[in-house]
Structure 1
Amino acid sequence: MADGGNRRNATGEVPIQFVQPSRSGKLLQYEHAAKETCTLMDWLGYGPHIRQARSEAYKVHDRLLTALSGGSATWITTGSKAEGLTCYLESDRDIICVNNNLICIEEGVDSSNILKETTILRACSRISYPGHYILLLQRYGTTIPKRVDNALCDDGYGRTFLSSDLYVNECLNIKPTEGQETHERAGPSTPSTFYGGALHTDIVHALHLYCPSILTRWAARPRNWPTPDIVQEVVSVGAVVTPVGLKGSDYEHVEWRLCFNAGENVLVNNLTDTMVKVYVLLKMVKQDVLKPRKKEVTSFTVKNIVLWIAENNPQSLLHERSLLHWLHEGLYALRVAIDTKELPYYMIPERNLMAACALEHEQKLSWIATINDMIEEGPIMILRLPQIRRALIAHTEPLRWYSGRKIEMEMLVLICMNRITLGMDEETDVIVQAAITRSADIRKEVRHRMIMEGRRENNLPDFYQSMLS
């Protein structure tokens, strides 16, 4: 698709326009490879129906956890689990737990109509990098959580602020639930594991931030996507601040970062199927080809590239046949971001997502050369991705059969997760027992087929875990 023309932004270099090329032999080659790749990705668990089912299951679980908190907290699953892109035990589950007992408001917002029972913090950004705040105590409510009170500090000028560093340390003292094993903090998160370490979760304790001016500026941008109703939904779910400052900042240990996790969930879940698959492929490039050691490039980085592409291009062009074209455009934008160390945050363009990345010069040159090679390779570049390569080598019928059983197993586990969280007894609930029975049948079917094909797998518990990873 090199025949197409592209116009690019001066900053960030994200693609803003795609001119439809003539239907040359090269284009037809790309389109055929793109359609085959889309089909493979559906079999591998990235199709729209399984993504939606996963996403809905975690939304239900979040609502149940929120209800169990008695209104004191709102639980929000974020990242790949909320986006429906990873299996139950594949990668960590990222959760934001938002404290409902206080509210942060940006400067200039009138607080007179906020209930007197609510503690108010004023978000001050004048001395911080865009998208980061110092939280100053404006008013005590009738009650204030102990972990908030213990994280309040005096700035030496008669003002009280909430330390992000102290707040995370206070959250580490929260009593774990049954079966939960907590671990040392990792940045703003409090990691924990369940089921003997098989299920990993990263919980970030956050606060609500009312920031109408920022959301209004985002909503008013001229765009091809998302549609006005989705824009309003993103605005309605609002924003939070998480306890992490800009790396290297003089105020790093007291700063809080503005996040739109719930809104970003809405955006990703409303991307076209093709753009979701571009996102997945770029994540594979990041993980399996570039292999960052210190989070120099993250899934959040490539997510923002995909969101910019979606916003700046007509949706009619983001179809299945153009998958590999947009993958190349995503790689181009990633290369520019690595080269210039600049990538504007989709929600707040003034914030540079590459500002604090620990990218060394030799590593940068190596990554740029690798991405250049991938762009030059054309459709065969997807063979660099182990998951896609293995699927291409596999026979079609066994792959589809196994993928179907794997997806069914995962759906049964998600049903059990929500039934048990709802308070149903695992030993007596009819639905849970039926799911457990069917799950056991699936494992036996898969093990039997593997044995018939010459492989040996006799440890059912380990086999169960591998099917959900």
Structure 2
Amino acid sequence: MTNQFSSLLNSTLDTIGYSVENISLRAKISKTVTRMCSEGCTEQFGVKLLSAGSKAEGVSPIFASDEDFMHVYTDYICVDFGDIESGIYVIMRHLDESPPGYIKLSPLGAQNTTLLPSLHLFSVYVPNLDIVLLSSVCFRNFLPLIFSKVMPYLGLVTKVSKVSGPALALTVNRCMLDDVFSADLYADIVPALPYYSSSILEQWKERKRLYEWPSSDTIKDVSTTEGYVVPVGHKQSEEQNFEWRVCYTTGEQKLLGSLNEVQMKLYVLLKMINSCVIKGQVDCLSSYMIKNIVMWVSETCRTGIFTPNNLLRLVLQSLAFLRNCLLYSNFLPNYMIADRNLLFGKVEAQEKIELGNIIGELLHDGEFLFLRCEKLTHAMYIMCENPTLALRFRAWRNEIEELFLFMRLKAFSKIKPNMVFKSNFWYELFYEYLQDESFIETTMRLLNLFVDR
């Protein structure tokens, strides 16, 4: 029965848009669109955009409105050891005892403001250390001011601007066609500086692994990616205002891209369980934690176990892994920096008990735990009762998604950097769309698919 249920679960995910093809296409389009936007930003502002979060991974529904971006400031470089370079602003790691996964940064040439035309605003002299350090909290809190000045030039009105961790959560409104139509846009923007540290990635690369994931080629590829530092310190640290968190977003995306179909579906199911079951009772488990759980389970299990018939067993094994981290070791290691505890400062003592109890209930329920995920349960029922209808629905939704993604790609390809700051930006953009026959044809096909249903 367990194997049959797992196979049904696997095919149901295919039907509702989580096949490996669906996920890969969404991730590819998201990264392509971000790269298009990044070209203009890098040229004009020295900022490279990097898509992050569920959209970049392809596991977010196509009509989800929020976007996650990293703004990587390419004029600066952070290193463990370095010297002043011509044409680039070098920031060196201050070698002291910081919590695992966090570092302090000291700009080289800090006494010369011409060398650091903007970073001197966030540089603070620390008397007891006799050194100038970059303040992460000043850097982070400066962002809302920057965006409040930039948004009006884009014709956007900032409605909500809230700093949360390293991210600036923005809700802006764009009035289109002279108040005829307007729309709210949502984005989480994380500022970052590029960081190169051979020691961290070397330790990750040389870590002993028992099984076949990740492959040697993937390990080699990930170990050469750049890292980033984002402006947030450890919550329990007395010096958190000067600490920056190290992350390897690009490397993690490469690792997710190397997951097989069942491993990726495991990630999707755990996110569903968190959204439908856990979050309503205790909101402390993040998508990033789930991502790390999936990578640890993938590394510590034989590759042969990741088959459609084992999908339920893998879900329960992952939940058991999380419960052990919560209740026994009190330590959920970051996959890239294993000394960093993802639970510390994120999950309070009472939340650990509540989350442990919820996971215990889910493990006891077994396959019946998915009854708590209404959308998934309904889709599984249709798969059993009317498989022909389910197949027709899959073909219909996949065609809609492909057309929508094609339109999104086309839409962003029409935006030129010199158009953005013009007062008639939207009129010029609509004119560009009207000149493109393939765009108009795709729009009509998409409308017909909705009308026919």
Global fold match (TM > 0.5): yes
Q: Would you say the 8 A contact 2:66–2:186 is kept in 1?
A: yes
User: 1:420 corresponds to which residue?
Assistant: 411
Q: Distance in 1 between matches of 2:451 and 2:373?
A: 30
Q: CA deviation at 1:100?
A: 0.3
Q: Distance in 2 between matches of 1:298 and 1:135?
A: 27
User: 1:450 corresponds to which residue?
Assistant: none
Query: Which protein has the bigger helix share?
Result: 2
Structure 1 unpaired stretches of 5+: 1-28, 447-469
Q: Is 1:120 matched up with 2:90?
A: yes
User: 1:3 corresponds to which residue?
Assistant: none
Q: What's the TM-score once normalised by structure 1's chain length?
A: 0.82
Map 1:187-226 → 2, pairs under 5 A: 187=164, 188-193=166-171, 196=182, 199-223=185-209, 224-226=212-214
Q: Which amino acid aligns with 2:405?
A: L
Tell me which moved more, 44-53 or 73-82: 73-82
Q: Distance in 1 between matches of 2:259 and 2:201?
A: 20
Q: Is 1:148 matched up with 2:134?
A: no
Q: CA deviation at 1:399?
A: 4.1
Q: Would you say the 8 A contact 1:133–1:256 is kept in 2?
A: yes
User: 2:4 corresponds to which residue?
Assistant: 32
Give 1:411's match in structure 2, choosing from 381, 402, 415.
Answer: 402
Q: Is 1:323 matched up with 2:318?
A: no
Matched residue count: 413
**1:266-315: CA deviation from partner (whole Å, max 9, x where unpaired):** 11111111111111111122221111677521111111111011112221
CA 1:230/1:299 → structure 2, altered by over 3 Å: closer, same or farther? same
Map 1:28-427 → 2, pairs under 5 A: 29-71=1-43, 72-90=46-64, 92-106=66-80, 109=81, 111-112=82-83, 115-124=85-94, 126-139=96-109, 147-156=118-127, 158-172=130-144, 173-174=146-147, 175-176=150-151, 178=154, 180-182=156-158, 183-187=160-164, 188-193=166-171, 196=182, 199-223=185-209, 224-291=212-279, 295-340=283-328, 341-361=330-350, 363-394=351-382, 395-423=386-414, 425-427=432-434
**1:362-420: CA deviation from partner (whole Å, max 9, x where unpaired):** x4333323222222222222222222112123344444434433333333333233323
* Aligned-residue identity in percent: 25
Tell me which moved more, 297-306 or 425-434: 425-434
CA 1:214/1:150 → structure 2, altered by over 3 Å: closer, same or farther? same
Q: Would you say the 8 A contact 1:137–1:159 is kept in 2?
A: no
Give 1:431's match in structure 2, choosing from 418, 427, 438.
Answer: 438
Q: Distance in 1 between matches of 2:316 and 2:185?
A: 34
Q: What's the TM-score once normalised by structure 2's chain length?
A: 0.84
Q: Would you say the 8 A contact 1:92–1:200 is kept in 2?
A: yes
Q: CA deviation at 1:136?
A: 0.8
Q: Which amino acid aligns with 1:154?
A: Y
SS in 1 for 2:162: coil
Structural RMSD (CA): 2.4
User: 1:4 corresponds to which residue?
Assistant: none
